[in-house]
Structure 1
């Protein structure tokens, strides 16, 4: 029997300052691990400072209606995700795992959790954006049924852009 069948992840809603700091600390590790080869160190530092500070995450939760969840495995925080309902669609803003936790089925279970959240909110689809050069992640999304619906370039300031594919999964 495969170990991936035995993995059970938990998802804890993020509200407290302590949980928000946990997200910020995870983001710092994960973004340097995963995104530096894709977008470079300077843009990683800029994006962490712009989108993944305690202030930014707190504002997303309390003012922009994002729901953050810590992903736990065997009692340890191994990643996080953030979703936002947009009418009949659930926007998957963030889903990140520590590199040591990838390939174990945790991300797949997290997507099932996200689907459950979308269905409970009567959403018809889950949408997301993904960097065009994030090939492994794009392949993983396609494997679970996401389709590319477009492309977008977002100016995020300081002469940096997010050059993304738009993807969607019908429920």
Structure 2
């Protein structure tokens, strides 16, 4: 059974930090390298960084499969769109409709706020995610390169789904 709960405590943020450390290292080191992942985990996915993001308007949610935390999402409302900042699931739990359930949850959140679109960015070399987003109705709006400091950049595509 899949469930989604809002992350509201430092304990929740610590769980997300641990999940991020596993998922990001496994999935993204082959794409962007270990040095960039070390930097990004510290800057964006430490419990303190998550707490700061929540204080600035982001909402984090833990994804559970049979009551086991197996992933997480982060969203933030922008003017007329809901920005999907993060959606990650442990590799051993992929293919169990957790990501699809999470995206349906996000759509409901966006519609309840009367938002017109959901936007996200995805690494240009993350082919599986790009294909999954396309299947779920997202369109590729083109390239976006973001300087994240320390000489690192995120080389992404911006994608949007109209609701």
Q: Which of the five TM-score ranges fits, normalised by the shorter chain?
A: over 0.9
**Equivalenced residues, count:** 163
1:35 aligned to 2:25? no
Offset of 1:150 from its aligned partner?
Answer: 2.1
1:86 aligned to 2:78? yes
Query: Could you tell me which residue of structure 1 aligns to residue 143 of structure 2?
Result: 151
SS at match of 1:123: coil
Query: Could you tell me which residue of structure 2 aligns to residue 111 of structure 1?
Result: 103
Query: Could you tell me which residue of structure 2 aligns to residue 3 of structure 1?
Result: none
Instruction: Tell me how far apart the structure 1 counterparts of residues 136 and 114 of structure 2 sit (CA, whole Å).
Output: 20
Query: Could you tell me which residue of structure 1 aligns to residue 131 of structure 2?
Result: 139
TM-score (norm 1): 0.94
Query: Could you tell me which residue of structure 2 aligns to residue 13 of structure 1?
Result: 6
SS at match of 2:4: strand
Gaps in structure 1 of 5+ consecutive residues: 1-7
Q: Which structure 2 residues correspond to residues 54-133 of structure 1 after superposition, within 5 A?
A: 54-62=47-55, 64-133=56-125
CA RMSD of the aligned region, Å? 0.7
Offset of 1:55 from its aligned partner?
Answer: 1.1
TM-score (norm 2): 0.98
Instruction: Tell me how far apart the structure 1 counterparts of residues 52 and 150 of structure 2 sit (CA, whole Å).
Output: 21
Runs of 4+ displaced beyond 3 Å: none
Instruction: Tell me how far apart the structure 1 counterparts of residues 8 and 43 of structure 2 sit (CA, whole Å).
Output: 20
Instruction: Tell me how far apart the structure 2 counterparts of residues 19 and 164 of structure 1 sit (CA, whole Å).
Output: 28
Write out per-residue CA displacement over residues 32-79 of structure 1, whole angstroms, 9 at most, x where no aligned residue.
Answer: 1111111111111110011011111000001x2001000011010000
Instruction: Tell me how far apart the structure 2 counterparts of residues 118 and 16 of structure 1 sit (CA, whole Å).
Output: 23
